[in-house]
Amino acid sequence: MKNKPEHENTETASLSAPPKEAVTLHINGEAKQLEVEPWTSLLDFLRDHLNLTGTKKGCDHGQCGACTILVDGKRINSCLTLAVMKDGSEITTIEGLAKEGELHPVQQAFIDHDAFQCGYCTPGQICSTVGLINEGKAKTLDDIRDLMSGNVCRCGAYTNIVKVVQEALERSQAK
C-alpha cells in the first residue's frame, strides 16, 4: 500500500486514544477477562493477548480460513470480527479440541490420513471440519468440497482432507 499521508488528525487521535473495552470471553472452557482496544480482531486477541497461537493468521481478510475457530459452536473467520463484539461468547480454538490428553477424533483423522503437508492451514481445516459436522448439512463428497471451500490449502492436500471430513462425518452419524 502506498505511503499516502495518514488521516490529518492521526496524531491527535493517537494522543487521545479511545479507552480500552472490558471483555469476557469463555475460551476453551475458561473465562478470560481482559481489556482490549476496540480495533483488536478476535484473531489478534487470541494470538497476541492470550498466546493461543494455534489459530493461524493467513490472509487476514477472510479468504483463506487459517483463522477458523468456533464461536458458540459455529465456525467463523476470527480475523473478520472484533474481540470486543464477542463479549460473553463461548469460543473453541484448536487448543481446546483435545480432551484429557486424547486428540479430538478429527485431529487424529488428519494424522491417520496424512491430510497436511506444511500444516499451516491445518488448525483452521480441523476447526472447520468440526463446524461442518455440527452443521450437519454435508451429504455428498461435492457437499464436502463446497462446504470446505473457505479453507485453502496451498500445499494441495485436498484429496486427503476430503477423506478425513468424509470419515469424520460418517463416524459422527454412526454415533
Partner 1 sequence: MKNFTYTRANDVANAVDEVTSEKGSKFIAGGTNLLDLMKIQVERPSHLVDITRLALDTIEETAEGGLRLGALVTNADTAYHEEVGKRYPLLSHAILAGATAQLRNMATDGGNLLQRTRCYYFYDTDTPCNKREPGTGCSAIKGYNRDLAILGTSEHCIATHPSDMAVALAALEATVRVTGKNGERIIPLFEFHRLPGDTPNIDTNLKPDEIITAIDLPAKGFADRYTYLKLRDRASYAFALVSVAAALDIDGDTVKEARVALGGVAHKPWRIPEAEALLKGKPATRENFQKVAEAYVQGAKGYGHNDFKIELAKRAIVRALLQAKEMEARS
Q: Is residue 55 at the binding interface for partner 1, with CB under 8 A as the rule?
A: no
CB of 101 to partner 1, least distance (A): 29
Residue type, 114: D
C-alpha cell at 157: 492436500
One residue of 18, 100, 102, 159 binding partner 1 per CB under 8 A: 18
Question: What Cα–Cα distance (Å) separates residue 18 from each residue in 13, 21, 33, 72, 83?
Answer: 8, 9, 19, 29, 15
Nearest to 64 by CA among 121, 110, 116, 119: 121
C-alpha cell at 33: 477477562
Q: Is residue 82 at the binding interface for partner 1, with CB under 8 A as the rule?
A: yes
One residue of 41, 55, 92, 93 binding partner 1 per CB under 8 A: 41
CB of 2 to partner 1, least distance (A): 5
Residue with cell 487476514: 60
The number of beta carbons lying within 10 Å of the beta carbon of residue 142 is: 10
> Toward partner 1, which CB reaches closer, 41 or 107?
41
Beta strands in the chain (DSSP E): 21-27, 30-36, 68-71, 74-77, 90-92
CB of 98 to partner 1, least distance (A): 22
> Toward partner 1, which CB reaches closer, 13 or 118?
13
Phi, psi of 49 (to 5 degrees): -95, -35
> Toward partner 1, which CB reaches closer, 39 or 111?
39
Q: Is residue 140 at the binding interface for partner 1, with CB under 8 A as the rule?
A: no
Q: Is residue 21 at the binding interface for partner 1, with CB under 8 A as the rule?
A: yes
Q: Is residue 129 at the binding interface for partner 1, with CB under 8 A as the rule?
A: no
H or E element: which one contains 172? helix 158-174
Q: Is residue 139 at the binding interface for partner 1, with CB under 8 A as the rule?
A: no
- Residues engaged in binding partner 1 (CB under 8 A): 1-2, 4, 7, 13-14, 17-18, 21, 37-39, 41, 60-62, 65, 68, 74-77, 79-82, 84-85, 128, 131-132, 135, 137, 145-150
